[in-house]
Amino acid sequence: MRLYISVDMEGISGIASIHQLGPGKREYERGRKLMTLEVKAAIEGAKDFGVDMIVVNDAHGSMTNLLLEELPDYVNVIYGFPKPLSMVSLMDEGFDAAFFIGYHSRKGIPYSIWDHTLSGVMIQRIRINDEEVSEFWLNAAVAGRFGIPVALVTGDDKLVAHAKELIPQIEVVETKKGLSRSAALMRHPLAVYETIKSAVRRALEKVKRNEIPVFAPKGPYEVSVEFTDSLIADFVELIPGVKRRDGLVVEYNTEDVLDVYKILELMLIISVGAKRLTGASYDNA
Ligand SMILES: [Zn+2]
């Protein structure tokens, strides 16, 4: 069995503050250690189950958060930025299952740790065929495109409820209850790691029995992106095929969910450039 693990940071047990979430911030070294330990629990659970091959994708921020030297030597880690398909880079039909560790809610979900969709400061919302989507939705849809079921997710209470709505058979591990955007009632990380190991076993048993459907929302896809600032839309509308809907919203249509993903990545990169080129600035998240 071949397993793909995509690891974000906001949903990790023990993470609540922005100070834990990026290089140079005062609690970052602890944050990345917690991220490493949580994914390690999933890796060890999978190894115990008999998984032959595990690829881990560091999928947060700089994408160089995981402490590689503290992970078991039998995993390969996708590390650094940029990389094709970002949080689901190198996914293909060869994988039997995917786990999403430390995931978070889309922007606008109340009492959810660092809710955002791709970028909190640049993107207000993303709709696909009139459904407001999350990073979980987008990454699960790419997995689905390759026929891979998402078998396990960890994150706060709002995120795991969202995952269950989309994929009722998925195994979930709630790492904390969000009390605000930057406070949570934490389950103790050590307790979470134990829960993850047993959830991994149940998840992989379900995969073996073909009990988890792939998440494959039907195309064609009408993508609508609302930015936080019209300046960003001024630049993004230059992409061929992208239409300006109003001051903040652009639209793009495609048949392939991989193109949905790629155009969103491109819009995000242009958003950063838009601000740099005009001298405007952003805060974090
Ligand atoms: Zn993140």
pLDDT tens by residue, 238-273:
999 999 999 999 999 999 999 999 999 999 999 989
pLDDT band at 209 (very low <50, low <70, confident <90, very high): very high
**Average pLDDT in the 193-214 region?**
98
For 132-141, 223-232, 241-250, 273-282, which range has the lowest pLDDT when averaged over its residues?
273-282
Cα–ligand 1 centroid distance for 209 (angstroms) = 32
In angstroms, what is the span from residue 86 Cα to ligand 1's centroid?
12
Cα 59 to middle of ligand 1, angstroms: 7
Residue 277 — pLDDT band, cuts 50, 70, 90? confident
Give the pLDDT mean for 166-175: 98
Q: How many angstroms does the Cα of residue 92 sit away from the middle of ligand 1?
A: 22
**Domain range annotation of the chain:** 2-117+134-208
Cα of 25 vs centre of ligand 1, distance in Å, is 15
Could you give the percent of the chain with pLDDT greater than 70?
98
Q: Is the pLDDT of residue 73 over 90?
A: yes
Tell me the average pLDDT of the chain: 96
On the question of pLDDT at 280 being above 90, the answer is no
Q: What DSSP string runs through 43-96? A: HHHHHHHT--EEEEEE-STTS--S-GGGS-TTEEEE-SS--TTGGGTT--TT-S
73 alpha carbon – ligand 1 mean position (Å): 25
What is the pLDDT at residue 276?
85
Confidence tier at 62 by pLDDT (50, 70, 90): very high
Say whether pTM exceeds 0.85: yes
pLDDT value for 278: 86
Protein residues placing their CB within 5 Å of the ion ligand 1: 8-9, 60
Pick 2-117+134-208's CATH classification: 3.40.50.720, 3.90.79.10, 3.40.50.10780, 3.40.1190.10: 3.40.50.10780
Pairing of strands 249-254, 221-227: antiparallel
* Per-residue pLDDT at 284 exceeds 50: no
Average pLDDT for residues 28-40, to the nearest whole number? Answer: 98
- 91 exposure class (CB count in 10 Å sphere: 0-12, 13-18, 19+): buried
Ligand 1 mean position, distance from CA 9 (Å): 5
Percentages (nearest 5) of helix, strand, coil residues in the chain: 35, 25, 40
Per-residue model confidence (pLDDT) at position 285: 43
- For residue 123, the CA-to-ligand 1 centroid distance in Å is 14
53 pLDDT exceeds 80? yes
- For 99-135, the pLDDT digits (tens) are 999 999 999 999 999 999 999 999 999 999 999 999 9
The sign of the torsion formed by the CA atoms of 8, 70, 206, 57 equals positive
Q: How far is the CA of 131 from the centre of ligand 1 (A)?
A: 22
